[in-house]
Structure 1
Amino acid sequence: MPAEQRFLIENLISDAEEQLQQLRGAQYGKSVDAARQLLSNLGRAATLVDQALIETVWAAASAGVPLEEVSQWAGLPAEAVVEVLASGPQDDDG
């Protein structure tokens, strides 16, 4: 995974943690606004993690790692790995 993506994921998770702290205690602004922003950031982070997982599945399979191992490493059912591989390589837009 490119360093830029890792950095973005780390920042989104850090922002989400900070917003969660605001929801738990002394918050600045309305709870609904903090919750909306938190969910938005977590959704974006989840999308980036999914993209990284797909790229890594592709890389492992392309390197000749058996599908059973790729499935185990990724924590995905073998059928899901097969679907990822059958969908073809992903471009930068997902």
Structure 2
Amino acid sequence: MFVRIVKLGFDPAKIETFLADFEIQKAKIRAFEGCLFLELYRDKNNTNQFFTYSYWSDEDALENYRNSELFKDIWANTKIHFNQKPEAWSVDKLVSLE
């Protein structure tokens, strides 16, 4: 399993549109084969910045998602609202305490 972190910066006037779209799409993303976990975070100080955290069974599962029609549709509808270039990291989880 590994974690995908994506940082997204939005035009402040488009944030509500993004949040409404995410609400519609989140269950589809989470149900995609290989997606084990999905969360959305918002920066407390820079409120036009968001982060998605998703856990994937393996890199192939993420690549299958990234090549899917679902992702292509979501990304096409999301990127038009950006006010900065998105950043993404794929990381291995080493420790988790609950």
- After TM superposition, is the score higher than 0.5? no
The TM-score normalised by the length of structure 2 is 0.31
Give 1 or 2 for the bigger CA radius of gyration.
1
Higher relative contact order (CA 8 A, sep 6+): 2
Higher relative helix content: 1
Higher relative strand content: 2
